[in-house]
């Protein structure tokens, strides 16, 4: 029984971290109708950035989150101009392949520098005990930081003028342009924020689980599943989807080996696509 | 569509390529050409769903893997003959693709792409855990199986002949599909799916058929290679890098063009052979492929064939 | 009666795009649909061609209930359409575009037959000089002709024309109207959405007026231009209406 409680709490906490990753993907899709296939690569980037900060600079992984966010933002903006700026109006195929090629370059370089050996970050924080099971403090912190980030994104999108501009462009790019909004600026910053969120989520996940340069792909798949579950274009959906996935994973892992997860997640993806392609909360 | 002359040069060139190692009885050459033939077959097949129909299939190598496992298992556990096994592997793979296609091809290209990304991961994780198929360790032939084919040496040459035949068949099939009414329908779907439906094309059926066809040939190739190697295991059969290379080859050659896929495969293999002997570059395989793809997509989205036909309009009829 | 719609209704979220619209269209006539922007005209076309399914109501083609028929089946029946914002198959040539129409339309031609049909249609609409040009490279006027040619290659019984005159200069308008009249003479029923008043008044045998998703009037062009409600909703100026009546 207590194992279930533990699973539920863990599920919610990790679900929030997944939600942060998914929010990054979601924002980019919402604003420029591009599915960022380099999402996983940037998650891995965040993981390794956190690892290097801890190992080389001796900084706590939580302190590294801010520079990782900023780095992600800058790298994202650059990536936008390198791979997407010229091809935004091209057929969908082109943008898919563009971001995909980015991921190849990043993962290729990453494999070269870091090899595929697994790494881990130990936060030395200990845990709270609940009867016979325990929840590590690092999970709780990850959950809280994720909530904070989600809240900040909400405030940004709804209370700042740049945020409003981003929402305007995502609803009607032409009209936004006519209102004098610099769409290039908006698009590049949106992509930057998306990448920043991916990177930070990678750092957060790295504080909890071991990872390799190839782990990004696994979390990218989870992000896709979440976005499809919650509905592409709905930030609330991303959070809802994240929680659902987190819960599902933790509850199922009580019954079956974790190796089956990608298969199950993929099956969920296909089933949702069949029954409710716009997701639970989505708009087209 | 109008008469084209592509096969007039492409077929003889391919046949010459296949025959060359046979005639010179050169084993090393045979191995090199073997891999080139595989690349051509994979590239041509992927083009049917990517270039003709406009749907990117990431992780397409999964059909190679399914065909490999199915054929290998038939030979291993039930002693079925080589040709029957690989053809059955092809059909099973095609059937799976068709069913999957019915499920996910009705959606936009981007969603389909996401689904295919998940496919490879999913199948790999599944197979890693199923013990009949050897799990992560894989399965190994008892080498006495090769006696049925006249010994190991003859068996390898047999694999080579089969691969050559497969490649040529796949090129012919792809070309005739392109020139057929079915192909016209596919190209129309690629350009505008909604308009195609309004014009009377059964888009879902056509897309699924294209996807199934694109799975068929790689699956047979998988069976051939598994037979040749004498063993099979998940990371070899579902080699994600090969999936990536397929996409780069198709785009490099020119998506939608049969000659383009063949040329793209050849060029890519050539570039790879040069780069793989350079000291640092060889570990940057993935990054270099990604860079090539990025450059093509940004600056020359129609690949080699697109570039050539833009400046030499007469080449259009021979580079289809 | 070749096409009949009864009590069709379709809403998107909170917005009712088509509200209780019924109509009957006689064979071999030109049926005009007019109305202010946002009246639901293109949505109605989308219902007829099968892109949207109505939430209420039924659609009949020659007494057959086609309300739930998928899009491609309607083309096979003989319902073809052009789009308000043209949808050329950009990387295919003009002749290939039109052949698509011929191959998958009512008669389900093979490639060879389709090519013949395509050639005839291309000559008919006046696109012969552009036969081997890539569709994406045509200017707007030619793209509109291509859109029409492709629909005609379907060899339809009903042709839906969505603002096929928009963006054309007066000479092009006259030329297109002649083509439309010739199509009617060939026995094809035409349903036209148009904003160009004098054109649609001149060409139509019968007109239906939509406003905010509802049918507010129907009748001959003469009756429509005299209709008070139509004038208020759409024509605006009674003097203009008088002019239009005179123009017929």
pLDDT digits (tens, 9 = 90+) for B205-214: 999 999 999 9
Which of C133, A37, A97, A78 has the alpha carbon at shortest distance from B303? A97
pLDDT digits (tens, 9 = 90+) for B56-79: 888 899 999 999 989 988 888 888
Which of B52, B183, B181 has the alpha carbon at shortest distance from C104? B181
Q: What is the ipTM of this complex?
A: 0.88
Tokens standing for residue A91: 């057929």
Which residue among A82, A90, A221 sits closest to B118, beta carbon to beta carbon?
A221
User: For residue A212, what pLDDT is reported?
Assistant: 87
Beta-bridged to residue C23, according to DSSP, are C5
Confidence of residue C241 (pLDDT cuts 50, 70, 90): low
Shortest CA gap A253–chain B (Å) = 15
| Angstrom distances, CA of residue B245 to CA of A166, B127, B170, B232, B261 | 36, 23, 18, 21, 12
Instruction: Give the residue extent of every domain in chain B.
Output: 6-318
Per the prediction, chain B carries an average pLDDT of: 87
Chain B residue numbers touching C88 (CB-CB < 8 A): 191-192
Q: Does A257 touch chain B (CB under 8 A)?
A: yes
Measure the CA–CA gap between C22 and C26, rounded to whole angstroms. 14
Angle A55-A56-A57 from CA coordinates, rounded to 5°: 105
Work out the average pLDDT over B131-140: 70
Classify residue B153 by burial, with Cβ atoms within 10 Å: 0-12, 13-18, 19+. exposed
User: For residue C109, what pLDDT is reported?
Assistant: 87
**In this structure, is residue A64 part of a structural domain?**
yes
User: For residue B134, what pLDDT is reported?
Assistant: 67
**In this structure, is residue A203 part of a structural domain?**
yes
pLDDT digits (tens, 9 = 90+) for C161-180: 999 888 888 888 888 888 99
Q: Does A260 touch chain B (CB under 8 A)?
A: yes
Minimum mean pLDDT range among A11-25, B1-15, C175-189 = B1-15
Chain A residue numbers touching B250 (CB-CB < 8 A): none
pLDDT at C240 > cutoff 70:
no
**In this structure, is residue A232 part of a structural domain?**
no
Residues 97-126 of A with CB under 8 A from B: 97-98, 100-109, 111-112
- Residue A145 belongs to what H/E stretch? helix A137-159
Alpha carbon A252 to its chain's center: 22
- If one compares C37 and A102, the residue with the highest pLDDT of the two is A102
Which of A233, A229, A219 has the alpha carbon at shortest distance from A261? A219
B287/A109 CB distance under 8 A: yes
Is the distance from CB of A18 to CB of A223 less than 8 angstroms? yes
- Report, in angstroms and rounded to the nearest whole number, the Rg of chain C calculated over CA atoms: 18
pLDDT digits (tens, 9 = 90+) for A198-233: 999 999 998 888 888 888 888 888 898 888 888 766
Is the distance from CB of B190 to CB of B114 less than 8 angstroms? no
Q: Does B192 touch chain C (CB under 8 A)?
A: yes
Per the prediction, chain C carries an average pLDDT of: 87
pLDDT digits (tens, 9 = 90+) for B162-193: 999 999 999 999 999 999 999 999 999 999 99
Measure the CA–CA gap between A22 and A200, rounded to whole angstroms. 12
Confidence of residue C248 (pLDDT cuts 50, 70, 90): very low
Shortest CA gap B55–chain A (Å) = 7
Angle B7-B13-B17 from CA coordinates, rounded to 5°: 140
| Angstrom distances, CA of residue C207 to CA of C33, C160, C183 | 6, 14, 18
User: For residue A79, what pLDDT is reported?
Assistant: 93
Q: Does B309 touch chain C (CB under 8 A)?
A: no
Shortest CA gap C91–chain B (Å) = 7
Q: Does A180 touch chain B (CB under 8 A)?
A: no
Is the distance from CB of C218 to CB of C207 less than 8 angstroms? yes
Q: Does A62 touch chain B (CB under 8 A)?
A: no
Which residue among B56, B286, B294 sits closest to A93, beta carbon to beta carbon?
B56
B56/A97 CB distance under 8 A: yes
Could you tell me how many helices (H) and strands (E) chain B has, helices first? 14, 2
Q: Does B301 touch chain C (CB under 8 A)?
A: no
Which residue among B122, B247, B251 sits closest to A262, beta carbon to beta carbon?
B122
Measured from the Cβ of residue B10, the count of other Cβ atoms closer than 10 Å reads 21
Q: Does A262 touch chain B (CB under 8 A)?
A: yes
Counting every residue, how long is chain C?
A: 248
Shortest CA gap A96–chain B (Å) = 7
User: For residue A136, what pLDDT is reported?
Assistant: 79
Looking at the structure of chain A, the number of domains it has is 1
C72/B194 CB distance under 8 A: no
- Look up tokens 């020359």; give the residue: B300
Chain C residue numbers touching B187 (CB-CB < 8 A): 89, 91-92, 96
Residues 6+ apart with CB under 8 A from C189: C2, C3, C25, C26, C27, C28, C29, C30, C31, C157, C158, C159
Which residue among B1, B188, B201 sits closest to C111, beta carbon to beta carbon?
B1
pTM of the model: 0.87
Is the distance from CB of C69 to CB of C217 less than 8 angstroms? no
Counting every residue, how long is chain A?
A: 284
User: For residue B160, what pLDDT is reported?
Assistant: 93
Work out the average pLDDT over B38-64: 93
| Angstrom distances, CA of residue B105 to CA of A236, B49, B54, B99, B189 | 27, 11, 11, 10, 12
pLDDT at A94 > cutoff 50:
yes
**In this structure, is residue A231 part of a structural domain?**
no
- If one compares B118 and B15, the residue with the highest pLDDT of the two is B15
User: For residue B51, what pLDDT is reported?
Assistant: 92
pLDDT digits (tens, 9 = 90+) for C197-235: 888 888 899 999 888 888 888 888 888 877 877 777 766
pLDDT at C247 > cutoff 70:
no
Minimum mean pLDDT range among A43-57, A133-147, A194-208, C112-126 = A133-147
For chain C, list the domains and their CATH numbers: 3-78+157-247 (3.40.50.300), 87-155 (no CATH)
Nearest chain A residue to B53 by CA: give it: A93
A217/B121 CB distance under 8 A: yes
Beta-bridged to residue C217, according to DSSP, are C209
Measured from the Cβ of residue A164, the count of other Cβ atoms closer than 10 Å reads 14
According to the 3-state scheme, what is the secondary structure of chain C? CCEEEEEEEEEECCEEEEEEEEEEECCCCEEEEECCCCCCHHHHHHHHHCCCCCCEEEEEECCEECCCCCHHHHHHHCEEECCCCCCCCCCCEHHHHHHHHHHHCCCCCCHHHHHHHHHHHHHHHCCHHHCCCEHHHCCHHHHHHHHHHHHHHCCCCEEEEECCCCCCCHHHHHHHHHHHHHHHHCCCEEEEECCCHHHHHHHCCEEEEEECCEEEEEECHHHHHHCHHHHHHHHCCHHHHHHHHHHC
User: For residue C79, what pLDDT is reported?
Assistant: 93
Chain B residue numbers touching A224 (CB-CB < 8 A): 114, 117-118
Q: Does B191 touch chain C (CB under 8 A)?
A: yes
Look at the alpha carbons of B126, B130, B136, B140 in this order and tell me if their dihedral is positive or negative. negative
User: For residue C239, what pLDDT is reported?
Assistant: 61
Top mean pLDDT of B18-27, C147-156, C199-208 is at: C147-156
Classify residue B135 by burial, with Cβ atoms within 10 Å: 0-12, 13-18, 19+. middle
B5 DSSP 8-state letter: -
**In this structure, is residue A13 part of a structural domain?**
yes
Is the distance from CB of B160 to CB of B28 less than 8 angstroms? no
Work out the average pLDDT over C110-128: 91
Task: Detail the DSSP E strand segments found in chain B.
Answer: 139-140, 231-232
**In this structure, is residue A281 part of a structural domain?**
no
Could you tell me how many helices (H) and strands (E) chain A has, helices first? 11, 2
Residue % of chain B over a pLDDT of 70: 94
User: For residue B195, what pLDDT is reported?
Assistant: 92
Residue % of chain C over a pLDDT of 90: 47
Is the distance from CB of C176 to CB of C196 less than 8 angstroms? no
User: For residue A216, what pLDDT is reported?
Assistant: 86
CB-defined contacts A:B, below 8 A: 134
B281 DSSP 8-state letter: G
Domain hosting residue A26, numbered range: 8-217
Confidence of residue C117 (pLDDT cuts 50, 70, 90): very high
Classify residue C37 by burial, with Cβ atoms within 10 Å: 0-12, 13-18, 19+. exposed
**In this structure, is residue A110 part of a structural domain?**
yes
B185/C72 CB distance under 8 A: no
Question: If interface means Cβ-Cβ distance under 8 Å, which residues of chain C face chain B?
Answer: 49-51, 70-72, 74-76, 80-81, 83, 87-92, 96, 99-101, 103-105, 110-111, 114, 150, 154
pLDDT at C54 > cutoff 60:
yes
Confidence of residue B155 (pLDDT cuts 50, 70, 90): confident
pLDDT digits (tens, 9 = 90+) for A148-195: 998 888 888 888 888 888 888 888 878 888 888 888 888 999 999 999
Confidence of residue A284 (pLDDT cuts 50, 70, 90): very low
Measure the CA–CA gap between B127 and B123, rounded to whole angstroms. 6
Chains that touch C (3 or more CB pairs under 8 A): B
User: For residue B166, what pLDDT is reported?
Assistant: 96
pLDDT at A253 > cutoff 70:
yes
**In this structure, is residue A243 part of a structural domain?**
no
Which residue among A103, A109, A273 sits closest to B115, beta carbon to beta carbon?
A273
| Angstrom distances, CA of residue B316 to CA of A33, B104, B300, B310, B320 | 34, 34, 17, 9, 7
Tokens standing for residue C117: 């049909």
Which of C132, C181, C183, C175 has the alpha carbon at shortest distance from C153? C183
B184/C81 CB distance under 8 A: no
Nearest chain A residue to B285 by CA: give it: A108
Mutate to test the interface with B, among A30, A44, A108, A232 (most CBs of B within 10 A): A108
| Direct distance between the N- and C-terminal alpha carbons of chain C, in angstroms, rounded to an integer | 26
User: For residue B282, what pLDDT is reported?
Assistant: 63
A182 DSSP 8-state letter: -
Work out the average pLDDT over A80-100: 87
């Amino acid at each position: 029984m207590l194992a279930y409680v533990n699973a539920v709490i863990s599920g919610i906490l990790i679900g929030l971290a997944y939600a942060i990753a998914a929010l990054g993907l979601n924002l980019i899709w919402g604003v420029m109708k591009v599915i960022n296939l380099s999402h996983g690569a940037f998650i891995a980037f965040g993981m390794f950035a956190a690892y290097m900060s801890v190992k080389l600079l001796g900084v706590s992984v939580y302190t590294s989150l801010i520079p990782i966010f900023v780095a992600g933002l800058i790298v994202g903006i650059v990536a936008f101009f390198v791979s997407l700026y010229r091809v935004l109006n091209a057929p969908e195929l082109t943008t898919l392949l563009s971001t995909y090629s980015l991921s190849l370059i990043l993962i290729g370089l990453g494999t070269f520098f870091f090899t595929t050996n697994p790494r881990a970050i130990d936060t030395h924080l200990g845990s709270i005990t609940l009867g016979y099971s325990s929840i590590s403090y690092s999970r709780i912190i990850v959950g809280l930081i994720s909530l904070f980030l989600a809240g900040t994104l909400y405030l940004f999108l709804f209370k700042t003028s740049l945020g409003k501009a981003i929402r305007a462009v995502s609803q009607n790019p032409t009209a936004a342009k006519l209102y004098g909004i610099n769409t290039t600026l908006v698009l590049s910053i949106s992509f930057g924020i998306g990448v920043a969120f991916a990177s930070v989520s990678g750092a957060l996940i790295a504080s909890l689980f071991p990872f390799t340069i190839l782990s990004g792909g696994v979390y990218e798949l989870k992000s896709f599943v979440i976005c499809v579950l919650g509905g592409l274009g709905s930030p609330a959906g991303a959070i809802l989807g994240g929680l659902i996935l987190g819960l599902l994973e933790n509850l199922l892992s009580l019954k079956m080996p974790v190796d089956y997860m990608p298969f199950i997640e993929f099956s969920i993806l296909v089933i949702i696509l069949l029954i409710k392609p716009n997701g639970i909360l989505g708009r087209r | 569509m109008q008469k084209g002359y592509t096969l007039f040069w492409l077929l003889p060139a391919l046949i010459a390529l296949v025959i060359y190692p046979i005639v010179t009885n050169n084993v090393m050459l045979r191995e090199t050409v073997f891999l080139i033939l595989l690349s051509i077959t994979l590239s041509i097949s992927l083009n049917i769903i990517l270039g003709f129909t406009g749907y990117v299939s990431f992780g397409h190598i999964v059909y190679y893997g399914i065909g490999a496992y199915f054929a290998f298992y038939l030979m291993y556990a039930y002693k079925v003959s080589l040709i029957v096994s690989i053809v059955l592997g092809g059909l099973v793979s095609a059937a799976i693709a068709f069913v999957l296609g019915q499920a996910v091809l009705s959606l936009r290209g981007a969603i389909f792409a996401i689904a295919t990304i998940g496919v490879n991961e999913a199948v790999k994780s599944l197979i890693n855990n199923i013990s009949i198929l050897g799990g992560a360790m894989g399965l190994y032939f008892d080498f006495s199986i090769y006696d049925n084919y006249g010994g190991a040496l003859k068996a390898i040459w047999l694999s080579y002949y089969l691969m050559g035949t497969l490649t040529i068949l796949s090129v012919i099939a792809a070309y005739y599909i392109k020139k057929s009414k079915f192909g016209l329908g596919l190209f129309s779907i690629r350009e505008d799916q909604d308009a195609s439906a309004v014009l009377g094309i059964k888009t879902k059926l056509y897309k699924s058929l294209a996807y199934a066809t694109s799975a068929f040939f790689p699956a047979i190739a998988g069976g051939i290679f598994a037979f040749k190697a004498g063993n099979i295991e998940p990371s070899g059969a579902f080699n994600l890098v090969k999936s990536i290379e397929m996409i780069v080859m198709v785009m490099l050659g020119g998506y939608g063009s049969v000659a383009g896929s063949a040329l793209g495969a050849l060029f890519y293999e050539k570039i790879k052979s040069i780069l793989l002997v350079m000291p640092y570059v060889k570990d940057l395989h993935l990054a270099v492929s990604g860079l090539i793809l990025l450059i093509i997509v940004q600056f020359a989205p129609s690949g080699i064939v697109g570039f050539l036909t833009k400046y030499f309009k007469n080449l259009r009829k021979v580079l289809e | 009666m070749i096409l009949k719609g009864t009590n069709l209704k379709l809403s998107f979220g909170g917005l009712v795009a088509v509200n209780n619209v019924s109509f009957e269209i006689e064979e071999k006539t030109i049926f005009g649909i007019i109305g202010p922007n946002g009246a639901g005209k293109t949505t109605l076309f989308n219902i007829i061609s099968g892109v949207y399914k109505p939430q209420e109501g039924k659609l009949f083609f020659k007494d057959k209930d086609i309300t739930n028929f998928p899009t491609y089946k309607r083309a096979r029946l003989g319902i073809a359409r052009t789009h308000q914002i043209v949808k050329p198959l950009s990387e295919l040539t003009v002749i290939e575009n039109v052949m698509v129409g011929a191959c998958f339309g009512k008669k389900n031609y093979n490639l060879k037959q389709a090519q013949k049909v395509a050639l005839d249609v291309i000559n008919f609409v006046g696109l012969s000089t552009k036969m081997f040009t890539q569709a994406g490279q045509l200017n707007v006027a030619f793209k509109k002709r291509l859109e029409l040619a492709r629909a005609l290659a379907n060899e339809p019984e009903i042709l839906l024309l969505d603002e096929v005159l928009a963006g054309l200069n007066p000479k092009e308008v006259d030329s297109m109207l002649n083509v439309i009249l010739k199509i009617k003479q060939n026995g094809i029923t035409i349903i036209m959405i148009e904003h160009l008043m004098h054109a649609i008044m001149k060409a139509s045998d019968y007109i239906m007026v939509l406003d905010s998703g509802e049918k507010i009037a129907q009748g001959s062009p003469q009756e429509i231009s005299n209709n008070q409600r139509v004038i208020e909703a759409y024509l605006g100026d009674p003097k203009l209406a008088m002019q239009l009546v005179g123009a017929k």
